[in-house]
Structure 1
Amino acid sequence: MKDIVIATGNQGKINDFKHIFKDYNVIGIKSLIPDFDVAETGTTFEENAAIKSEYGMKLLNKIVISDDSGLEVDALNNAPGVYSARYSGEGATDEKNLQLVLENMKDKEDRNARFICVIAVSIPGKPTQTFRGEVAGTLLHEPRGENGFGYDPIFYVASHGKTTAEMTGAEKAQISHRGHAIQKMLDSGIIEEA
């Protein structure tokens, strides 16, 4: 079984990758480099994903995959965007970020939003490649569901009649932004060629 190193300490993301990469040994980079940390200084999801995967690849001299993902809300001029994980500022948590989005959306009629994920794959001796996935939804006025993480409890997907926090891991993997980006990566053959 081939190892895939994921450059994140976010267990929710690692779990998402495990649902999708059933035929691989998915390893969170913090189990190899406990103090792995890199500043996400990019202004796009593509830049931030590449910063993390390239840094991890240089440290380990192995294939490293990272993602940068977030929520874009039409009525908030695509905020929180690349700042989704730190939207509520210093000491940001999933709960604080979610509550701030709800607060900022309380008088908005347009509830359209999308989850975006960009996967970056860094392979020693090759240029980094990125793959983008999106899933459209609408924001609810209050959280629903116990699964998932981040903004999942308020992100409603009409085709499934539930939030991504009400979906099983397998259901979410089928429709998720991360799932779409990973499928594009798999279709490219980049992992098999490495």
Structure 2
Amino acid sequence: MKLVLATRNPHKREEIEAIFDGPGLDIVALDAFPDAPEVEEDRDTFEGNAIKKAVEIARWTGLRALADDSGLEVDALGGAPGVWSARYAGPEADYEANNRKLLAALAGAGDRTARFRTVMALADPDGTVRTVEGSCEGAITEEPRGMRGFGYDPLFVLRGDTRTFAELDAAEKNRVSHRARALHKAREAWTGLLSEEM
């Protein structure tokens, strides 16, 4: 079955392909559809954004589409940056700018607990959609550590570990991350669907 990944983020695509690929599944990058629309992430929940992206791309391509929306929720900031994680320091901000803003917002904070959350949505071209969620609890460091990963990975330490996500190799991160947990749930929940021909 052909499955379109409704993202142009190469880091997300690599993680999803590494975890989710399997027999009978032909994963197609959104880059294969250069005229596909840019879906605006304007919903106020991860689930809302994931569903919107999956449904719009499935309808446009005529293929089943998989989308995710993910972000970091920091308890001392009332759950921020949340759905604004990718744009926390502004619409054109890069990962480093977002990390700097987060560290500044947490300066002097005693509570640095946080979690990464991912909602995965699988949509059919007719608009039928299913979702699963994955999360992982941890804390925010006081300075970036590590050269791997992307986004807030240099600042996030998984509960029970001492290393940031950016200090883990790809295989380790793909076993424990929020996205990995959501994708493993998806494989279990959608096994029959993923073997169907559309």
TM-score, reference length from structure 2: 0.92
Name the aligned partner's letter for residue 76 of structure 2: A
RMSD over equivalenced CA pairs, Å: 1.5
Identity, % of aligned positions: 37
Q: CA deviation at 1:127?
A: 1.7
Q: Which residue of 2 aligns with 1:191?
A: 194
Q: Which residue of 2 aligns with 1:180?
A: 181
Distance, in Å, in 2 between the alignment partners of 1:150 and 1:61 is 31
* 8 Å Cα contact 2:36-2:57 kept in structure 1: no
Q: How does 1:26-41 map to 2 (within 5 A)?
A: 26-34=27-35, 36-41=37-42
Distance, in Å, in 1 between the alignment partners of 2:27 and 2:161 is 28
Secondary structure, aligned partner of 1:59: helix
Q: Which residue of 1 aligns with 2:162?
A: 161
Distance, in Å, in 2 between the alignment partners of 1:183 and 1:90 is 31
Distance, in Å, in 2 between the alignment partners of 1:56 and 1:157 is 33
Which deviations, in whole Å up to 9, do the C-alpha atoms of 1:68-89 show, x marking residues without a partner?
0000000000000000000001
Q: CA deviation at 1:66?
A: 0.4
Q: Which residue of 2 aligns with 1:128?
A: 129
Q: Which residue of 2 aligns with 1:9?
A: 8
Distance, in Å, in 2 between the alignment partners of 1:22 and 1:35 is 23
Structure 2: gaps of 5 or more residues: none
Distance 1:161 1:3, change over 3 A: farther
Distance, in Å, in 2 between the alignment partners of 1:99 and 1:26 is 35
Name the aligned partner's letter for residue 70 of structure 2: S
Greater Cα offset, 133-142 or 89-98: 89-98
Secondary structure, aligned partner of 1:72: strand
Q: Which residue of 2 aligns with 1:59?
A: 60
* 8 Å Cα contact 2:59-2:127 kept in structure 1: no
Distance 1:4 1:174, change over 3 A: same
Secondary structure, aligned partner of 1:165: helix
Greater Cα offset, 20-29 or 91-100: 20-29
Structure 1: gaps of 5 or more residues: none
Q: CA deviation at 1:168?
A: 1.1
Q: Which residue of 2 aligns with 1:108?
A: 109
Secondary structure, aligned partner of 1:132: strand
Distance 1:117 1:128, change over 3 A: same
Q: Which residue of 1 aligns with 2:86?
A: 85
Distance, in Å, in 2 between the alignment partners of 1:13 and 1:171 is 15
Report whether the alignment pairs 1:137 with 2:138: yes
Greater Cα offset, 158-167 or 115-124: 158-167
Aligned length: 193
Distance, in Å, in 2 between the alignment partners of 1:60 and 1:158 is 40
Higher normalized contact order (CA 8 Å, seq sep 6+, divided by chain length): 2
* 8 Å Cα contact 1:4-1:63 kept in structure 2: yes
